[in-house]
């Protein structure tokens, strides 16, 4: 295992398991036992947060994904911000990852850096970025640093923003992401190819992934700026909650398509007595039971098409060792199972008449409060925001899609590992570095068996604790001993009493009442019943099909540009995000009222 020498509480220097993650503070020492790869906090950009990135990397980050995914993602992100004018060459002291950090076993986003977008973008602010990207966690206040403001950067950003506000179609950058993902998929070797060929393909991912992640960060930045124009206008008018009505749905968001396609499959199940009977037996082994059956022919065809189109997604789907709907189809079948129980037609889109009326009403409230220039930009943002929301989700989807053939090849290597007497656990094998360690292990698992066992035990320890929400210095990078002590000392959060109003951020407008159903993992949603309020710790695309049977969605974390907010708007489901400790304060069976406009959850009984 890569860690320092010495025992007990003596200072240990973290051994560099990935040379590129070490920065200017190479000589820093850290106390205790640390993760396999430990990044270095850049003192120029010190505030790192789990906000927002908790949706993307909810679990412990493996060395495989860090080296093949995170490092090229950092390069793509830097290039995107340089092109938009956000950053200058002087902003970074080295190539070491700054924007996407790996500390204490978990992935972090650099809030100090992201705030530069708000500081340098004309008319924006660091606070606007906090609201758009994070929305929760009570972040440390922004403190100006010499060089934060840059006139040339602001002028270049202004040009980028003006172009974004004039967008009236899906940006071309989306098509480039599709091309890149398709090109990389065509290069995938046959799964019966030799180890060396499969390993070479896995290791070739960084270059194309950098390209598509660059595209994703361009669209993410511009969508946040355009949405920020609307958010700032609503805040200035004293009606911040109206921004959800102004943004509304976009109609072609990829993440919502998964839910709609699965809802059609659920309708097939509801209309068939034989399919209903098979689902009543449970989803485990369901596809095997239905294979080749004439009465399941339509279902099998539709589900196979769903997997071809969307099988690359799943919980924690940026993680290369993670589950997908393709390799773990039960995840999608659980959502179908919950949908088919609804005794009414599932709502797969908002009411267009009601949505238009809500938007017009919000415009009538906000627009008169603006000066002439702000009103012009406001009008443009209203027309452009949908295109950028589509682009953001489409480029994200293609970035994940690009990793799909790598995951397929990697799973074949895992199979071969098990066949040769090594581990058959995809997460465990990902604890090896993808260069000489992985090659050596596949050739002779016994040579690294002790190393892998030690790392696996360490992984289990990190997975059992909560990461710190903020890390603002190298001294705050926690050892596993510190995290375990904090976990043990954590005070239990009592359930909310009747009459309690929990406050979060408005996600999607609407007021509904329903019984609470807390779901901590999408493969553990068997008890979610139609009409219940889904309460979750976070939501990535694997969760979104569960939105359809739910009356409303409440999430512990999130912000204006969070996944749960975007998808709930597309499906027309009331949503409140950034409700601190919602999964602890709300318990199964509570009757609650969810107000997606006010951003509140009221415990009725």
**Does 318 fall in a domain?**
no
**Does 280 fall in a domain?**
no
**Does 291 fall in a domain?**
no
Rounded mean pLDDT of the chain? 89
For residue 377, give the nearest of 474, 249, 243, 233 by alpha carbon.
233
Task: Quote the pLDDT of residue 14.
Answer: 36
Structural domains in the chain (count): 2
User: With 0-12 CB in 10 A as exposed, 13-18 as middle and 19+ as buried, what is 82?
Assistant: middle
Residue 410 in this model has a pLDDT that exceeds 60: yes
The conformation of residue 521, written as its DSSP 8-state character, comes to: S
- Residues 404, 478 share a domain: yes
Higher per-residue confidence, 232 vs 91: 91
φ, ψ for residue 249 (rounded to 5)? -95, 160
**Does 204 fall in a domain?**
yes
- Residues 582, 477 share a domain: no
Residue 16 in this model has a pLDDT that exceeds 70: no
Mean pLDDT calculated for residue range 586-601:
95
Pairing of strands 575-577, 552-555: parallel
Q: How far apart are CA 201 and CA 461, in angstroms?
A: 32
Higher per-residue confidence, 190 vs 3: 190
Residue 548, CA distances (Å) to 161, 355, 421, 551 in order: 35, 18, 43, 8
Instruction: Output the pTM of the full model.
Output: 0.87
- Residues 569, 425 share a domain: no
- Residues 443, 522 share a domain: no
- Residues 545, 469 share a domain: no
- 378, two tokens: 């406001």
**Does 17 fall in a domain?**
yes
The residue written with tokens 């509570």 in the block is: 590
Q: String of b and e for 22-52 (b: at least 16 CB within 10 Å)?
A: bbeeeebebbbbbbbbbbbbbeebbbbbbbb
- Dump the DSSP string for 95-153: SS--SEEEETTEEEEEHHHHHHHHHHSTT--HHHHIIIII--S-PPPP---TTS--HHH
Residue 472 in this model has a pLDDT that exceeds 70: yes
- Residues 579, 442 share a domain: no
Mean pLDDT calculated for residue range 209-215:
98
3-class SS shares of the chain: helix, strand, coil, % to 5: 55, 10, 40
The residue written with tokens 């415990």 in the block is: 603
The mean-pLDDT minimum among 53-57, 199-203, 285-289, 414-418 falls in: 53-57
**Does 317 fall in a domain?**
no
Q: Which domain holds residue 239?
A: 11-251+367-486
- Residues 514, 421 share a domain: no
Residue 433, CA distances (Å) to 17, 57, 119, 480 in order: 8, 19, 38, 21
- Residues 209, 156 share a domain: yes
The mean-pLDDT minimum among 51-60, 298-307, 387-396, 493-502 falls in: 51-60
Sign of dihedral through CA atoms 453, 454, 457, 463? negative
Task: Quote the pLDDT of residue 310.
Answer: 94
For residue 96, give the nearest of 33, 11, 39 by alpha carbon.
39
The CATH number of the domain holding residue 553 is 3.50.30.10
Task: Quote the pLDDT of residue 524.
Answer: 86
Residue 61, CA distances (Å) to 2, 255, 478 in order: 15, 23, 15
> Is residue 558 a contact partner of residue 577, using CB atoms and an 8 Å limit?
yes
The mean-pLDDT minimum among 270-279, 429-438, 552-561, 580-589 falls in: 552-561
Residue 371, CA distances (Å) to 6, 63, 232, 241, 289 in order: 65, 51, 13, 21, 65
- Residues 435, 576 share a domain: no
**Does 230 fall in a domain?**
yes
- Residues 549, 419 share a domain: no
């Amino acid at each position: 295992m890569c860690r320092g020498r010495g025992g007990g509480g003596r200072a240990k220097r973290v051994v560099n398991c990935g040379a590129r993650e070490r920065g200017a503070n190479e000589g820093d020492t850290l106390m205790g036992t640390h993760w396999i790869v430990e990044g270095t906090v850049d003192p120029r950009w010190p505030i790192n947060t789990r906000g927002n990135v908790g949706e993307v990397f909810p679990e412990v980050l493996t060395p495989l994904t860090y080296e093949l995914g995170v490092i090229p993602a950092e390069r793509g992100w830097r290039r995107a911000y340089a092109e938009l004018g956000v950053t200058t060459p002087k902003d970074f002291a080295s190539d070491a990852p700054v924007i996407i950090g790996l500390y204490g076993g978990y992935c972090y986003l650099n809030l100090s850096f992201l705030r530069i977008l708000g500081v340098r973008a004309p008319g924006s602010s660091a606070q606007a970025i906090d609201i758009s990207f994070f929305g929760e966690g009570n972040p440390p206040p922004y403190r100006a640093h010499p060089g934060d403001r840059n006139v040339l950067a602001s002028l270049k950003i202004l040009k980028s923003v003006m172009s974004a506000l004039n967008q009236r179609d899906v940006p071309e950058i989306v098509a480039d992401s599709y091309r890149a993902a398709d090109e990389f998929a065509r290069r995938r070797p046959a799964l019966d190819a030799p180890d060396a060929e499969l390993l070479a393909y896995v290791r070739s991912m960084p270059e194309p992934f950098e390209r598509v992640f660059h595209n994703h960060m361009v669209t993410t930045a511009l969508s946040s700026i355009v949405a920020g124009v609307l958010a700032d206008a609503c805040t200035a008018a004293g009606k911040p909650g109206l921004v959800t009505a102004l943004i509304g749905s976009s109609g072609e968001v990829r993440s919502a398509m998964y839910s709609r396609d699965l809802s059609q499959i659920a309708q097939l199940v509801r209309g068939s007595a034989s399919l209903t009977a098979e689902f009543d037996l449970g989803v485990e082994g369901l596809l095997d039971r239905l294979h080749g059956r004439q009465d399941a022919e339509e279902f099998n065809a539709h589900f196979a098409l769903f997997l071809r189109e969307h099988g690359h997604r799943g919980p924690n789907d940026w993680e290369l060792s993670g589950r997908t709907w393709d390799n773990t189809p039960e995840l999608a079948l659980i959502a179908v199972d919950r949908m088919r129980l609804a005794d009414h037609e599932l709502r797969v889109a908002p009411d267009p008449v009601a949505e238009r009326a809500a938007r017009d009403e919000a415009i009538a409230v906000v627009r008169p409060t603006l000066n002439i220039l702000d009103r012009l930009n406001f009008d443009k943002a209203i027309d452009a925001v949908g295109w950028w929301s589509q682009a953001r989700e489409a480029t994200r989807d293609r970035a994940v899609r690009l990793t799909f053939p790598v995951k397929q090849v990697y799973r074949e290597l895992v199979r071969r590992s098990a066949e040769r007497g090594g581990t058959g656990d995809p997460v465990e094998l990902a604890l090896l570095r993808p260069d000489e360690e992985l090659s050596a292990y596949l050739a002779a698992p016994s040579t690294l068996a002790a190393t892998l066992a030690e790392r696996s035990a360490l992984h289990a320890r990190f997975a059992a604790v909560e990461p710190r929400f903020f890390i603002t210095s190298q001294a705050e990078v926690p050892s596993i001993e510190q995290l375990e002590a904090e976990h043990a000392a954590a005070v239990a959060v009592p359930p909310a009493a009747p009459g309690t109003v929990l406050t979060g951020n408005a996600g999607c407008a609407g007021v509904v009442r329903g019984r609470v159903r807390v779901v901590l993992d999408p493969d553990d949603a068997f008890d979610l019943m139609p009409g219940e309020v889904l309460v979750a710790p976070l939501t990535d695309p694997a969760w979104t099909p569960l939105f359809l049977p739910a009356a409303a969605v409440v999430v512990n974390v999130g912000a204006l540009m969070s996944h749960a907010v975007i998808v709930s708007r597309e499906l027309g489901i009331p949503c409140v995000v950034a409700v601190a400790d919602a999964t602890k304060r709300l318990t199964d069976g509570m009757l609650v009222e969810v107000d997606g406009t006010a951003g509140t959850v009221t415990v009725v009984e």
